[in-house]
């Protein structure tokens, strides 16, 4: 976690604006810090896609929650409850705490439930992500994950990324599907939570402290936009950011 | 008893570097390779040795009759049993070690029942000759069996009420959709090194297939051929070959 106060102090120092009201938190620092947060997310997305970063770098944002699947072996991650940045793993057949917990069966066949009172402990399985084409092609291939043929000790689960299967009779929008089917059972999902916007100076940015320098420079870069393109600040902070991103990637 | 199948599969998966989330070769495929090679090595091992280590006895197998004809292999009103497991197809149905009437071993002082009357193997085409000599004629005290597929039909017990038989067979390993990965593999430990080597060879060839052979929607102008192993004749490796001395 990086305290917003630390970022503001450093930025103010570099701007040589200590004790001045030239830069205000609500009008200058807060928008620049939140823009920087979104920019860092975009940079991390690229790094993840290139497999150049592990999720350990964002341990503050890694969460594992338990859902009960619908009767179609699907779960809906409601963005108003859980704002997912990226799914890191789908874990079928989890052992949970309390061990006496039972899955909450939904009102409709397409209803899945986030189990807020249940915690993930362990599992012997991990589902592999398939593309839409692989999902259908591999259904009966015993040597591919997610096949419906081997349901003995060689069961290998797979999941299909979020898709919208809704209709007038099927109201759930946006679901992840798991195969072989595990209807109305617990399913653990490990994901990166999207970082929350900061609102007051007492907040913290949900990134590792090693990124402080990168974030300070990027905040300066955004603030420099307001100063016109002939200033030193834009080019200096831009060069700093480029160097740091190059080191990271 | 043998090594646990999971240990063999995981050992090979680790050697082939197939223990990460986007692995190309799944555990089930390695297990399939292991069972494929293990069946061949085990059948050779049994053929070479006079040992009961891999013979399995199945008792109280019910003698049945088909009520009607259904092709293939099902002939009505002929007494038969179904092989309890798939067996190695040795010459002269050597995968079947013995068949005898099944009687409860209730009196320990007597001759064990399964040694008294065993069934002799014959074939449908040679069975006719048996009926011409009194010594060979099929009868309840001199019964015969012949095999068609998974059916073992009997001759000589048509007019008695025999209910069960006992059978000793050399059965194959269970297929990948039935075997338990945490069970001990019914396979000689001394052959594990050969098994591993042969499975690694299969896996190595699979993993040598270049990415250009995979349809991932992208195109690459610089295609490479499939690498191949040089095939070495056993004669070339022989000490009798002058160049090898």
For chain A, give the mean pLDDT. Answer: 87
Domain coverage including residue A61: 56-193
Residue holding tokens 């090979």? B12
Same domain, A119 and A219: no
Q: How far apart are CA A146 and CA B201, in angstroms?
A: 26
Please report whether residue A168 resides in a domain: yes
Q: How many domains does chain A have?
A: 2
Q: Give yes or no for residue A53 having a pLDDT over 80.
A: no
* pLDDT for B166: 93
Interface of B with A in 147-186 (CB under 8 A): 176-182
Contact A86, A192 (CB under 8 A): yes
- What was the ipTM of the complex prediction? 0.73
CA neighbours closer than 13 Å in the CB half-sphere of residue A109? 6
* pLDDT for B239: 59
Interface of A with B in 7-26 (CB under 8 A): none
pLDDT tens, residue by residue, A5-19: 999 999 999 888 888
Please report whether residue A25 resides in a domain: yes
Distance from CA of A68 to the nearest CA of B (A): 24
**Mean per-residue pLDDT for A38-51?**
78
Please report whether residue A244 resides in a domain: yes
Same domain, A79 and A169: yes
* pLDDT for A243: 73
Please, which pLDDT band fits residue A247 given cuts at 50, 70 and 90? low
Please report whether residue A200 resides in a domain: no
| Exposed / middle / buried, residue B191 (Cβ in 10 Å: 0-12, 13-18, 19+) | middle
B201 vs A: CB within 8 A: no
Same domain, A108 and A33: no
* pLDDT for B220: 53
Mutation target vs A (from B20, B23, B28; most A CBs, 10 A cutoff)? B28
pLDDT tens, residue by residue, B51-81: 999 999 999 999 999 888 888 888 888 999 9
* pLDDT for B236: 63
Q: Give yes or no for residue A23 having a pLDDT over 90.
A: no
Q: Give yes or no for residue B212 having a pLDDT over 60.
A: no
Interface of B with A in 28-47 (CB under 8 A): 28-29, 31-32
pTM equals 0.78
Same domain, A152 and A222: no
* % of residues, chain A, pLDDT over 70: 92
* pLDDT for A45: 79
Same domain, A106 and A86: yes
pLDDT tens, residue by residue, B148-170: 999 999 999 999 988 999 999 99
- Compare CB distances from A154 to B21, B25, B31 and report the shortest one's residue: B31
Same domain, A219 and A154: no
3-state secondary structure of A55: helix
A132 vs B: CB within 8 A: no
Contact A93, A100 (CB under 8 A): no
Same domain, A180 and A239: no
Same domain, A37 and A146: no
Please report whether residue A202 resides in a domain: no
Instruction: Using the 3D structure, point to which of A193, A216, A236 is the last residue of a domain.
Output: A193
pLDDT tens, residue by residue, A103-126: 999 899 999 999 999 999 999 999
Do the chains contact at A150 and B29, CB–CB below 8 Å? no
Tell me which chain A residues have a C-beta less than 8 angstroms from the C-beta of B22: 128
Same domain, A74 and A152: yes
Please report whether residue A154 resides in a domain: yes
Same domain, A86 and A157: yes
* pLDDT for B228: 62
């Amino acid at each position: 976690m990086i305290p917003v106060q630390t970022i503001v102090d450093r930025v103010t120092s570099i701007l040589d604006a200590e004790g001045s009201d030239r830069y205000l938190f609500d009008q200058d620092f807060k928008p620049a810090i939140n823009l920087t947060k979104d920019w860092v997310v975009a940079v991390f997305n690229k790094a993840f896609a290139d497999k150049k970063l592990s999720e350990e770098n964002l341990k503050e944002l890694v969460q594992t929650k338990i859902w009960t699947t619908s009767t179609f072996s699907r779960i809906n991650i409601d963005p108003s409850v859980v704002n997912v940045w990226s799914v890191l793993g789908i874990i079928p057949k989890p052992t949970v705490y309390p061990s006496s917990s039972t899955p909450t069966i939904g009102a409709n066949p397409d209803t899945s439930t986030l189990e807020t009172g249940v915690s993930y402990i362990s599992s012997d399985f991990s589902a592999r992500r398939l593309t839409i084409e692989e999902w259908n092609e591999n259904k009966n291939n015993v040597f591919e994950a997610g096949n419906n043929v081997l349901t003995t000790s060689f069961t290998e689960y797979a999941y299909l990324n979020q898709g919208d299967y809704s209709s007038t009779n099927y109201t759930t929008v946006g679901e992840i599907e798991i195969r072989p089917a595990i209807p109305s059972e617990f399913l653990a999902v490990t994901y990166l939570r999207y970082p929350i916007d900061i609102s007051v100076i007492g907040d913290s940015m949900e990134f590792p402290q090693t990124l402080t320098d990168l974030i300070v420079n990027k905040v300066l870069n955004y603030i420099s936009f307001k100063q016109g393109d002939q200033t030193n600040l834009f080019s200096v902070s831009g060069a700093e950011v480029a160097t740091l991103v190059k080191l990271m990637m | 008893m043998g090594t646990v199948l999971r240990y063999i599969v995981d050992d090979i998966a680790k050697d082939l570097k197939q223990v990460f989330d986007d692995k190309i070769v799944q555990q089930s495929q390695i297990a399939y390779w292991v069972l494929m090679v293990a069946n061949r090595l085990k059948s050779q091992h049994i053929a070479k040795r006079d040992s009961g280590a891999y013979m399995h006895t199945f008792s109280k197998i019910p003698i049945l009759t088909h009520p009607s004809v259904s092709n293939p292999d099902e002939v009505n009103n002929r007494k038969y049993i179904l092989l309890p497991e798939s067996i190695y197809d040795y010459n002269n149905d050597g995968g079947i070690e013995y068949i005898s009437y099944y009687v409860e071993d209730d009196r320990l002082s007597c001759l064990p029942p399964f040694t008294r009357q065993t069934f002799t193997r014959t074939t449908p085409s040679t069975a006719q000759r048996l009926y011409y000599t009194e010594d060979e004629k099929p009868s309840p005290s001199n019964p015969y069996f012949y095999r068609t597929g998974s059916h073992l039909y009997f001759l000589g017990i048509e007019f008695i009420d025999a209910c069960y038989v006992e059978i000793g067979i050399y059965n194959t390993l269970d297929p990948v959709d039935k075997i338990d990965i945490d069970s001990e593999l019914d396979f000689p430990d001394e052959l594990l090194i050969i098994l591993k080597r042969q499975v690694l060879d299969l896996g190595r060839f699979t993993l040598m297939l270049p990415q250009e052979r995979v349809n991932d929607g992208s195109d690459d102008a610089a295609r490479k051929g499939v690498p191949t192993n040089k095939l070495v004749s056993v004669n070339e490796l022989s000490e009798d070959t002058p160049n090898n001395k």
